[in-house]
Every structure is written in C-alpha cells, then in structure tokens.
Structure 1
Amino acid sequence: MARFLPLFLLLLVGHSMYAQQEKQGDTTINRNVPLITADKVDLLNNVDVIFNTQVGFNSYFNDGKYGSSKFAVNQFRFEIRGKVFKDKVFFRFRDRYTRDPEVQSIDNLSRSTDLAFIGYTVSDKTSIAIGKMTANWGGYEFDMNPIDIYQYNDFIENSDNFLTGVQFNWKVSSNHALSAQILNSRTKTFTELYEEMPEFKDAKFPAAYVGTWNGSFLEGKFQTIWSFSILQEASRNGSPVNMYYTALGNQLRLKDWLLEYDFKWSSEDLDRTGVVSALIPQDLLGHAAQKTDYKEHWLRAVYSINQQWKASVIGMVSTATWNNPVDERADAIGVRTSWGIIPAVEFYPIKNYNLKFYAAYVGQYLNYSSYAKTTLRQVNSDSGRIMLGITSPLLVF
C-alpha cells in the first residue's frame, strides 16, 4: 500500500481542511445536497476494489534437508475494475505489490503492474480493449487467479505474462468465444533480454500475435482454452527470428471432481523462456541460447469432499531442449527435465465466500541430461516447500 499512501494522506488532509473551514462559519454549504449523489452511487455499484491476497508460513527444503522458514505475503495484488457509461466502457487495473516496481523500457509501465486497460463493448457479441493486459497464452494453469497458484510450471513462471496492446473479443455463440490480440512481444529491449548479439537485428515492431478459442461442450461439463501465438523478436540475415507457442487447455467437471489438463509447446529461435540460457556457463556462450524447444504437461485434479473441504493434487513436467548446442557434433540436446508435484488441502470456513485456509507441499525435481552434466556442469537437485496460510480475493467494496 506504500504507493497509495500519498493519495490517502492527501484525502485525509483535504477532509481535515474542509472540516476546519466549515467550523469557521462557512454558511454557503447546502446541507441538503449529499456529498455523493444518486448517480455517483450507481456508478460505485459497478466498481469493485479487490485485495488479491495469499499470506502464509513457508518452510523450505533443498535436496531433502531443511533450510529455513518464514512468514511471507506470497501474493498481494491490488485491483480496481468496473463498468461506466451504461456498461459500455469497462476498465481494469491490478498492481502486484510483491514484485519490484521497476519501470520497463518498452511499455513505460512498472513491472509490478499486471493490468491497466480500458475497453468498449461494441455489442452483445463483440468488445475491444487497449492497454496492458493478460496475454492470452491459453490453458487452465494460466487461467487461474495467481493467488490460487502455489507454483507455476516453467513457461508461465519465466514468461512476460502481462503485455501492452489491443484485444478483440467475439462471442460466436453461447458455447464458443474467440479473441485476438496484438501486443508488444516483451517489456524490455532486445539487449536487456538477450544480451549483446551483433548478428541479430532488433525488430522495428517486436509484436506478439495471439489467438484464443474458448469452447464449452456437454452443457458446460467439458471446456477448452486453446491458443496459438507468434512472437516476432528480431531478424538475422534478413530472415525473421520468431517464437511459436501453443497451449491446449482442457477441463472436465463431474459431480465432485474437477479435472484439468494443459499441454504446452514452445519453439524459440532465441531462448525467450530462458531456462536453457540460464544453465549455460558464461565462458561457453555469454548470451541467450538459440533454437530452444520446451514441452510441458500440467494436470490438476480437485475433489470436493463437501462444501467446505477440498483436496487437490497437481502434477507437472517440463522438458527443455537445445537444438543449437555449443558442441557442433551434437544435434538436439535434451538439457533438463523438471518434475513437480503439489498436493494440497483447502478449507472454506464461510459458505459461499471465497476465503480459504490452505496446506500445500510444492516439490520440484530437476534431472539433467549427461550432456548438461558434463558440458554445462549441472547437477541433479530437488527442492520442497511446505505452505500453510490463507487466500482470498477480498472484495473491499
């Protein structure tokens, strides 16, 4: 809240000065006119202020050994959203207080700002929005509120998930909707992201083109969030340098079960995800890797024990491949495989209210190929985290 403290102080001082002036005998005030008129009250009814919060006690383990424990605000995202002007104009702003508020070179916005866009509802079927928004990468892992996530898989964990641009939405029918986005492909400059690479020329408009389909079948029991994205990053010898990303998210709802499965694939001329590049010692490369490939599987199963108790487990795997290794004798090299498992139990103390206590374990196991062990000097490792806490998108008003 530190960033909003000056505004709160200003309002407080203004109210104090107003009260002093009234006390000194200002007889021009019409006490029959309310400070907030009826039309303003109606406007506030269409505006939500939300504190997206995840707070808890975390204990960390590395290679099976206890490391440390601490209380932490894992997530706090301040959000304002609403509709104005006869529900035609809508807006959304969300800022993450658990991230460094560094202004980014490309979009001139703080890195901590997730969302800052305004939209217009053209008709019952179409709408348009412009500003900083969620890149619709697709899949149910990314569709969840971040405060409900205990750990992301590799791609979302390492991506620019909130980018500035324009989005078009079209509701094809009651069961199908399409969206298309044209966004900045990144928030940082080429050099900031990839280091010095003289043979590459930065794109004049580094753009991301994202198409998403939301589908619903069997009276909503089976749903999909599928997407395909092309990110233009640069050129080399006149040829485009791109990233191609596909996500296929599938959800099945049964009586007491919720099952979700995402498949993700990313092919990158330059290592935008960055996992491979981070494993290569500086003396071997010194800049971003080229020709990388990532494949991911994410599976979530949730069982509703009753209205107040839920048990869930998430399994995920991510493989990182380097198709242009330093050793020219080698072809595509499988560099790293990451395995993750997250069992959790959640308790909702207030019926029909989205506040929960949680207990979760986050386990990650990193297995490296023989090439990564010998040439890149990597070692297999594992880590764990026990999490106890409380989560809620607190609706303030």
Structure 2
Amino acid sequence: MKKYYIYLMIGLMPIIAIGQDRDKQAGGGGLMNTDSIKSLIPEVRQKLLKDVDVIFNTRMGYDSHIYDGSHEYSNFAMNQLRFEIKGKIHDKVSFRFRNRYTREPIPGNLDNISRSVDLAFLKFDLSPRTQLSFGKLCADWGGYEFDFNPIDIMAYNDVIEYADNFLMGAGIAHSLGNGNHSLSFQVLNSRTKTFEEQYGASAPPNVNPSEYPLAFVTNWRGKFFGGKFETTWSYSLFNEADGSHMDYFALGNKYKAKNFVLYYDFQYSNEGLDNKGIVSSIISSEYPYAAQDVLYVENWLRAEYLVAPKVTLLLSVFNSNHSWKGNPDPNASSKLSTSYGLIPTIEYMPFKDMNLRFFVGYIARKYDYTNYAENAFGVKDYTTGQFSIGIVAPLLVL
C-alpha cells in the first residue's frame, strides 16, 4: 500500500510545480496563494478534532537489574508505551481508547478483546452530574496507586501488579452537592479469561465455574478542607466460581500542601479462590491446585516534594502480606510471606509548558518468607533491585 502513495505523490509533483510556477508569474514571489487552498479535512470534522486528544504515554530509559545484591544485566528499555485517543464526538457522548504496546496482544476468551487494550469505552452524559460508561473500563477501585497514570509508577505493589485491572462492563457515576463528593457503581466481568483458561489444571476439584463471572464495584470520592484532603474508597465483590468470591476493599487518602503531596493506600483482598496467584505459586511444590481462602493485606505510601520549580523528589514505600487461611494443616501458620518495596526518585522538568520529565530512580524489593513457608514449601528469601535513568512523558501530539 505504501508504494501506491509514493506513485501518487510522484504523479502530483508536476501539477504542484505548475501551480507554483503560475503563482510566480502572478507576482506571488514564489509563495502560493493560500486563500484559494481548500483543506483536505472537511470543516465538520475539523470541529470534531478540536475536542480530541491524541497522547503517547511514554516511559523509557536505561535499566540496571540486580538480584540478591549482584548485578545481572543492564539494557535500554521501553518500560511503558500506551497510545491513547480520547474526546467528544457529540455534546453528550465522549470516548476513550488506550492501547499498551508493552504487553502481548492476546485476546481474552471471556471478553473477546486483547489484553493489551486498557480502555475502549463510550461515556454518555445523562445529566450535568451523571455519566454512564460502557465498554472496556478501568475498574473504579479506590486507592491512589491505581489512579496514577501508569507511566508515573515505576513498580506496583502486589495486588495491582497481579490483578486484572481493565475489564469489560458498564458503570454509572454521579457527583453530589457542590462537586466535592461523587459516587460510582460498576458491573464488570470478574476477569478477562474464562475459568478454564485462568486456572486450567490448577482448578481445585471441588470448585466449579460460575455461570455469572461478574464483579460489582462501588466507589466514593471526597474532598475536604478546601481540597487539602481527598479520599477514594471502594468495595468490590468478585464472583470467581460457584461458592468462591472475592471481597476487595481499597482505601485511598491524599493530603496536599503548597509544595508537598502525601498519599496513603490500604488494600484488603479476601479471596475464596486465589485470583492473584501469589500464594498458589508459593505452595506449588507441595500443592498442585490454586489455593483457596487466601488473604492479601497491603500498605502503600508515596510522598512528593517540589524542592525547586523544576525538581521534584519522590519516595514510595509499600508492603504486601500474603496469607493462606485455607491451609489444610491445622498446626500451620496462615501467613506465608511479606514483600517490601522502596522507590526513591528524582524528577527534572525542563519545560514549563510541557509535561516531560527526566528521572533517576531505584526500585528496591525484598521478599521475606515465614519459617513455616521455607520449611514446608522450600522457598527462600530474596531481593531485587533496578536502577533506572530516563524520560517519562504523556506526549500530547494532537
């Protein structure tokens, strides 16, 4: 197809040259008379483009990887590249599409859309305060870790890292009073894959797939003290299988001062069947099935301090606790492991009118197993590290 475009341009070149020559003869000084030129894009569609944004969400850099204190390898990498287009196509209808180019485009056999597609939905304004969304949505979980643009997170805590965060479904959101509070409710698929694809041979013999693998998500967002303190709290019920569901609480809190912002998230995921797979991977040497009755409890803290007009210091600290409450051994401890994370980062923004930042950061992770887990399943503590230097930017190209 490209060669036909080339042939077309070659064919048009004489016509363009003749047009320029005529313009010179008419005293145009070698410049074409732009008043006589018609746009290739119809005026109606130009109006649509005024309300459309095209964005390349980008994080790229040079990474050095460390395991248990020893350097493994260093490489250049495109850590994030998500193409996004969003905007209004009607006074009361808008759309958003975002595709991730750092994930394999494998369609989920439950929702029939590639897992590389984060978002693909339409939003309808039912009233100035009420919106209805339908399509592949971002699960409206509470917590600010998941609210961030993914390019601004160097590493996620375990629950969000291993969860299906973008799911097909429908949602409604409503702003209350003076706009300081809002409520939302979503009905989504509970995962992107069918039960058989998700668990396969690891499905416990006594667990059967549900006819309605759905999730129900409620969220409350609030602003207090003139916007200095904000919250995003949610509760979600996921129907994983017959007799097995997941209760998920996410409580996000944000405090904002002049040059300082502090975030704190608490996550609690009580799962009848191990959706995240972390506990199942720990016990896999002795137990061939997905773990039942597991619990993940997390804390996430992030501080941002603007030390100079163009320089920001960031620090993220987090931990995740993994427990197997359904352990058939009555004398065993339910807790199996805890993971820890520490991410100090420096960002430099050279341009006032463009959100492009140079960054230097380090991701330190530690995975600490209980004595019981080490003795029963042969797992061992380990640490990982990643030093990164690069560029992060949501590149607005239209």
Report the TM-score, using the length of structure 1 for normalisation.
0.91
Counterpart residue identity of residue 360, structure 2: A
Instruction: Give the Cα–Cα distance (whole angstroms) in 1 for the partners of residues 193 and 351 of structure 2.
Output: 43
Residues 47-106 of structure 1: CA deviation (Å, up to 9, x unaligned) = 1110000000000111111111000000000111010112x1110100000001111110
Instruction: Give the Cα–Cα distance (whole angstroms) in 1 for the partners of residues 291 and 223 of structure 2.
Output: 39
Residues 143-158 of structure 1: matches in 2 within 5 Å? 143-158=147-162
**Does the 8 A contact of 2:319 with 2:341 survive in 1?**
yes
Q: Aligned pair 1:70/2:75, yes or no?
A: yes
> What does residue 290 of structure 2 align with?
288
Instruction: Give the Cα–Cα distance (whole angstroms) in 1 for the partners of residues 216 and 9 of structure 2.
Output: 51
Distance 1:216 1:318, change over 3 A: same
> What does residue 275 of structure 1 align with?
278
Q: Structure 2: which 5+ residue stretches go unaligned?
A: 16-35
- How many matched pairs? 376
- Between 215-224 and 31-40, report the one with greater CA deviation: 31-40
| SS of aligned partner of 1:201 | coil
**Does the 8 A contact of 1:195 with 1:288 survive in 2?**
no
**Cα offset, 1:329, TM superposition:** 2.4
Residues 97-137 of structure 1: CA deviation (Å, up to 9, x unaligned) = 00011111101001101001111111110010100010112
> What does residue 116 of structure 1 align with?
120
| SS of aligned partner of 1:202 | coil
Instruction: Give the Cα–Cα distance (whole angstroms) in 1 for the partners of residues 291 and 188 of structure 2.
Output: 24
**Cα offset, 1:14, TM superposition:** 5.7
Instruction: Give the Cα–Cα distance (whole angstroms) in 2 for the partners of residues 306 and 253 of structure 1.
Output: 17
Counterpart residue identity of residue 264, structure 2: Y
**Cα offset, 1:330, TM superposition:** 2.8
**Does the 8 A contact of 1:321 with 1:334 survive in 2?**
yes
- Structure showing greater radius of gyration is 2
**Cα offset, 1:273, TM superposition:** 1.3
Q: Aligned pair 1:192/2:194, yes or no?
A: no
Residues 261-311 of structure 1: CA deviation (Å, up to 9, x unaligned) = 0000000000011110111234x2212100100100000111101220000
> What does residue 315 of structure 1 align with?
317
**Partner residue of 1:220 out of 213, 227, 248:** 227
Distance 1:175 1:291, change over 3 A: same
**Partner residue of 1:208 out of 204, 209, 215:** 215
Report the TM-score, using the length of structure 2 for normalisation.
0.91
| SS of aligned partner of 1:244 | strand
Instruction: Give the Cα–Cα distance (whole angstroms) in 2 for the partners of residues 150 and 117 of structure 1.
Output: 27
| SS of aligned partner of 1:101 | coil
Counterpart residue identity of residue 248, structure 2: Y
> What does residue 58 of structure 2 align with?
53
Instruction: Give the Cα–Cα distance (whole angstroms) in 2 for the partners of residues 16 and 305 of structure 1.
Output: 56
**Cα offset, 1:39, TM superposition:** 2.2
Q: Aligned pair 1:105/2:109, yes or no?
A: yes
Q: Structure 1: which 5+ residue stretches go unaligned?
A: 1-8, 25-30
Counterpart residue identity of residue 219, structure 2: T
